[in-house]
Structure 1
């Protein structure tokens, strides 16, 4: 299957077959794809919460309360094989930046101490710019959506259906997983699994604006 064919065929799943579970090996590959997602200056300003059983999915689904306007998203979470909550870091502390740098050193990215010093200067410079501008949290959230794209494409390439869900109560989600204490912001839930016969979106043609509407020449 070519990349374009994958992109043409993937869609947002509306209903899941709760009897089908994604194999552990496949989930492991999807989570590794998520971990390997790119981010600005390799800041990796995210944390992912994995629900791989009914209890975990129910915890995430608490943020889509029954009898609320968000309840329509609840079956997508509980009926999927797995669900992943993508969170953004609200701050990038000096200690966190040190952890990043030391992991890069451990992974052999610096041939010399001079290279390490240059990398440290670059990382702290760009993070410092966003701290000064007061938009660090918005910046980290943008990186999380890059990771979302990698997960969605990876799932589609492996024949796994997916649903990105922003329609949940962030306050409930934060309380359920103690996210405020960890200085994390819940952004999006990705349901993963196999669509059911009731999936209304499965056979609809894909619709995107024409090439001429979205591209122009520099």
Structure 2
């Protein structure tokens, strides 16, 4: 697999073929990618809702009304739509659950190593909660690491994708009962296969020249 070629050929799909569905085994690979996405101090401050049915996608499409109607067809016609959510805070229960899972997965050779990991993670969480006071934005940055993993992974599996911030997050949170779960929606990703109406697939890729975006030190 030539990952640089994938980065040059993948694009944001603007229209999906509603007759084509992503095979279950491919969706499982994408779920694995999301589960194993990187996050600061392995905090994993996210949750992913996956809509694979017309009814599920219709619930998400409710948040694409008004100013966001341009995204409605993408949500309804995609094979699957992923709602990438952020935890509203990293509380003790979540941090303990992450630590317990690390222990179960054999990441600590000694109790001291486990204690050191817990102390280090809690230091950074506390830094963003009490000193920098940017916990929400710090958590959302981790969610976007998962987004990047998903988009590049989809491209490697020949799945078209469209990330969307154009939706009513408050409406979607209410529709899906996210607040009660300590979550908030951050970004949507429609997944599927582009249709012949996808104008973006016919356009050349455009990026600033290397001289504008790289500096050698």
Fold similarity call, TM over 0.5 = yes
Partner of 1:191: 190
SS at match of 1:109: coil
Partner of 2:108: 110
TM-score w.r.t. the length of structure 1 is 0.97
Within 5 A, what are the aligned runs for 1:67-106? Answer: 68-106=66-104
Query: Distance between the aligned counterparts of 1:124 and 1:71, measured in 2?
Result: 41
Partner of 1:57: 57
Tell me whether 1:144 sits opposite 2:143 in the alignment: yes
Partner of 1:171: 170
Tell me the CA shift for residue 2 of structure 1: 1.1
Tell me the CA shift for residue 4 of structure 1: 1.2
SS at match of 1:48: strand
TM-score w.r.t. the length of structure 2 is 0.98
Tell me the CA shift for residue 217 of structure 1: 2.1
Within 5 A, what are the aligned runs for 1:19-34? Answer: 19-34=19-34
Runs of 4+ aligned structure 1 residues displaced above 6 Å come to none
Query: Distance between the aligned counterparts of 2:160 and 2:14, measured in 1?
Result: 10
Partner of 1:7: 7
Q: Give the unaligned 5+ runs of structure 2.
A: none
Q: Give the unaligned 5+ runs of structure 1.
A: none
Partner of 1:208: 207
Query: Distance between the aligned counterparts of 2:202 and 2:9, measured in 1?
Result: 10
- Cα deviation digits, residues 171-190 of structure 1 (max 9, x gap): 11011011122221211100
Query: Distance between the aligned counterparts of 1:69 and 1:140, measured in 2?
Result: 27
Point out the structure with the larger helix share.
2
SS at match of 1:21: coil
